[in-house]
Structure formats: C-alpha cells, structure tokens
C-alpha cells in the first residue's frame, strides 16, 4: 500500500513541477484513482497537490492520508524530494545534469492537438492527445486538457518529460499506471504573490536516500 501511495504522489509531483517554472502563483490539483480495492481507494480520497512557483523555483506538495511528498526545484533545475510517509521520513536530491541524463533516455512525446474545449478552474482549455513511449518501448496515450493562458516550461526535475512541448499548462489529464487509472484535475489557479519562505528547504529529521533506491520503492528498475 505504501508503494502505491508513494508512486502516485511522485507521478503527480514530477508532472506538475514541470509546468511551474514561469512567473508567480500557484495551482491546486485534486487526484482520483480507480482500480484499487475499496479499502485502499478510501485511503486515497482527498489526495491533493498544490504547486507554488516563483522566479524559476517551484514547490509541489502532495498530501494524503498517510503523509506528504514535497518536491522543491531551484532555478537551475536541481531538485530535492522530501517524503514523510506512514512514519518514514526520507529525502532525495538530484542535480540538474543527472536529471537531464535521465530525461534523455526517453523519447520526446508526440502531441496531437484537437479542437475540443472545456473550462477547468475558470480557464478555457483545449484537448490534446500525448503519445509517449516508456523505457520498455510501450506506447502510452494520455488525454490532456491544457490552458494557453498559463505557460508550460519543461523542467529537468521530472526525469520523464510527459508533456514536453505542450502549448500550455496541463490542467486535467488521465493516465494509467499498472492497475491504476489516475485522474488529475486543477481545482484552483491563483496568480497571488508567493512568499519566499515557500522555497526554504529543511531536511532536518529526514534520512537521505539515493535516487536509485527511491525507484526501487516505486517498483522501478
């Protein structure tokens, strides 16, 4: 169960951090997950991520029943991930160069734009279909609704540039991960000034973990 929670949290933070590198403000996302046993699904209710961004820096904090995962990214693309999950507290650091090497292993996505439109969190969004191959060569398609009013600038912190090249910030999308179907939707977009204190990082009380160890926890290779 902890692996599912951690994996879902990092999927969301790695994606939304990538579009939070311009201007100043915040975006709040809600997550719903299908394909879990009823008891586990109940534990996932209320899962939310709030992304703060300012002057090239970002903070993406995901909260859930068992704890929080927070990803900080600085102006250069260096990232620090803090996880406090079910009593276990650890952090992972990744520099921009290593993140770019990780991202280079993945092919750029193929994006097909449509004329479909709908309003999300007060913003008119258009639909695109994003086709991306994973490390095994499997092709995954994601329907994403994006707003051209909010810039999308890909960072190097996510490792996988799921929406690289998208014409605007993703405000709603669905994706499959194993037996899970994850839907992520923006519930609030704010252009309010963000205090610098949001980007202060403290790892006190957390144990450092290597990026490869975190991958193992998520079920990766």
What gap in Å lies between CA 79 and CA 181, rounded to an integer? 27
State yes or no: pLDDT of 11 exceeds 90.
no
pLDDT at 158: 42
pLDDT at 156: 38
State yes or no: pLDDT of 207 exceeds 90.
yes
pLDDT at 85: 83
State yes or no: pLDDT of 77 exceeds 80.
yes
Higher pLDDT, 90 or 42: 90
What gap in Å lies between CA 208 and CA 189, rounded to an integer? 33
What gap in Å lies between CA 170 and CA 145, rounded to an integer? 6
DSSP state of 153: -
**CATH architecture, domain 2-217:** Clam (2.50)
What gap in Å lies between CA 71 and CA 118, rounded to an integer? 29
Q: pTM for the complete prediction? A: 0.81
pLDDT at 212: 76
Tally the C-alpha atoms within 13 A of residue 218's C-alpha that lie toward its C-beta: 16
**Residue closest to 57 by CA, chosen among 10, 9, 22, 94:** 22
Other C-beta atoms within 10 Å of 173: how many? 21
Q: Are 62 and 12 in contact (CB under 8 A)?
A: yes
Under the banding of pLDDT at 50, 70 and 90, the label for residue 117 is: very high
Q: Which residues pair with 143 in a beta bridge?
A: 129
Q: What is the pLDDT of residues 41-74, one digit of tens each?
A: 777 777 888 888 888 888 888 888 778 889 888 8
Q: What is the pLDDT of residues 146-203, one digit of tens each?
A: 998 887 654 434 444 678 888 888 899 987 777 778 888 999 999 899 999 999 999 9
How do 57-64 and 88-94 pair as beta strands?
unpaired
Domain ranges of the chain: 2-217
């Amino acid at each position: 169960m902890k692996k599912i929670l951690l994996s879902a949290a990092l999927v969301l933070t790695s994606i939304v951090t990538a579009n939070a590198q311009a201007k100043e403000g915040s975006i709040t996302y809600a997550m719903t997950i299908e394909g879990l046993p009823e008891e586990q699904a109940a534990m996932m209710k209320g899962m939310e991520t709030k992304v703060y961004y300012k002057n090239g820096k970002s903070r993406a904090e995901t909260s859930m029943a068992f704890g929080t995962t927070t990803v900080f990214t600085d102006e250069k693309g260096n990232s620090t991930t803090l996880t406090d999950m079910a009593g276990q507290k650890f952090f992972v650091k990744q520099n921009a160069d290593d993140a770019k090497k990780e991202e280079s292993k993945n092919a750029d996505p193929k994006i097909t734009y449509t004329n479909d439109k709908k309003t999300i969190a007060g913003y008119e969004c258009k639909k695109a279909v994003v086709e991306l191959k994973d490390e095994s060569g499997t092709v995954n398609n994601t329907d994403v609704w994006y707003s051209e009013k909010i810039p999308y600038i890909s960072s190097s912190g996510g490792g996988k540039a799921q929406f690289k090249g998208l014409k605007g910030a993703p405000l709603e999308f669905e994706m499959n991960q194993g037996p899970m179907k994850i839907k992520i939707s923006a519930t609030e977009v704010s252009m309010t000034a963000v205090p610098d204190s949001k980007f202060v990082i403290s790892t006190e009380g957390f144990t450092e973990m290597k990026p490869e160890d975190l991958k193992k926890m998520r079920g990766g290779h």
